[in-house]
Structures are given as structure tokens and as C-alpha cells.
Structure 1
Amino acid sequence: MVELSIFERMEHGALGQKFDFNSVFEQIKWNQDGLTPVITQDHQTKDVLMMAWVNRDALIETLQTKQVCYWSRSRKCLWRKGESSGHRQYLKDARLDCDGDSLLFLVNQIGPACHTQRPNCFYLGLDIDQVEILTQPII
């Protein structure tokens, strides 16, 4: 008999059933750079704030401290959201998708989420013939 993967077992799991964190953590699908994508959403409004990347250390730190930490691909180091701007994100809930290749952080966002000072990073509306700026910076 073929043993089911942890994600296949969870797929067939019952509401409220619990699984060992380490068993699941070891099966997260990290890319060739040791990263997995995370979508960050406001826990109250459900607005999507941003998309970023985490590595193992960033995910563990976020879960332990409840202050969101990402991996900065440009700086090649851990990036604690808001450490320079003060616009921090505090974790309310973390979720893993059904096949272990992306995460969702539900956060309490302090200040704007985007480095452009806009409420979120998704302020550019796309159409077939134009791109439109949809939100103003928060001043």
C-alpha cells in the first residue's frame, strides 16, 4: 500500500484534526532559493496588501514573534516589515495552501503596506490598453 503524503492526509482530514508542525514544515515546497511565496492580507478588511517571500528562518521568526518577517531577495537578508518605516505587520493568522507551496498571512497592518506609501502594493489597474494608478499615497 502506498503511504499518503502529509498534504494528501490533510486533504482527507476532518475539521479540527491536528497534524504535527515539524512533519508539515519539512514538506513545504521551497523553491531552488529556499523560498516560498506569501500573500499578506489585512485580517479585518481582507484587502490583499502585498506578496513577498519567506525562507525557513523568516517563517519560524514570524510564527514565534507574531511580527511579520520576510526574506528580501534584493538585500539577501531577513526583512522585518516596518523596521525602517515603522509600518509594521503583526500576525493574526498564518495559513498554508493545500499542496504546501504558498502561504497566507493575515495581519494587523500599521500604516501603509507599500513602500510607495500606498495602502497596498496592488495599486496599478491593468487593462488591455492602459495601466491606471488606483490609489493615492497615504500622507
Structure 2
Amino acid sequence: MTKKLYWVSTPLLALMYLGAGIFYLTNISGVQQMWEHLGFPAYLVPIMAVVKITAAVVILWRPLTGLTDFTYAGMFFHLCLAVSAHINAGDGGFAPALVGIALVILSFFTQNAGRKKPSPYGRLPGVADVSPEPARQNNSI
């Protein structure tokens, strides 16, 4: 069950970030106006577009567990900032960021069930590790 949760939440999270990154690149001027409304500098929009696309690739490809964990942390803090910015602006547009936070948490804490190489941090407290154990060699004579 945990493995299925990982393979549902992670592609959805990656799709969310990939879609946002592509939208940022295809509608830079519109996104820059939205960012200025939220109180952020407009010049960051192209940079964030590349960062979002890169984050989606990293959590799907998972080249290194440390890099993936760092990416999850960046996503979490980015989404918390997005919720805060929308609440501060009073526009009520924070629901997608809340969904993203839920997906980040679900994907992060189920990653060890879905991947062969476990992350030292991707465990829920008090829950047994479900990653497969390596085969033991019998060295007795």
C-alpha cells in the first residue's frame, strides 16, 4: 500500500511542478504581474521556472538520495511560502499550494517503500522500515 501511495503522489507532485514551470516559461509576463501582486520581484520568474522543472525531474529520476531529500525540502519550503504569500495578498489562491504540501509530505515519507535505495530521512517515526533487506551471505564453514 505504501508503495502505491508513493507512485501516485510522486508523479502528481512532479506533474504539478512541471506544469507550473512550463506555464511560467510560456506566460512570463502574466506570471510576473501575478508575482508582483504577491510582493515578489518579477525577475525571479524565469529562474523559478527552471527550478520547478528541475525539481520535478529530480524527484522522478532520483539520481542521489541526498539530492532528492534536498529537493523535497526546497519544495516544502517553497509551497509554505506560496501559502503565506497568498494569505498575505488576500486573494485566496492558496489551495493548490496546500495540495502540493500534502503531496510533498506523502511522497517524502513513502519514498523508501517505492525505491530500492532508501533515504535515511524518508521514514515516518514509529513505523517500521519497509525497504527490502539485502541478501545475507552465509560464511559458515
Greater helix fraction, Structure 1 or Structure 2: 2
Q: Name the TM-score class by shorter chain.
A: under 0.3
- Higher Cα radius of gyration: 2
Greater strand fraction, Structure 1 or Structure 2: 1
Q: TM-score, normalised by structure 1?
A: 0.22
Greater relative contact order structure (CA < 8 Å, 6+ sep) = 2
Q: TM-score, normalised by structure 2?
A: 0.22
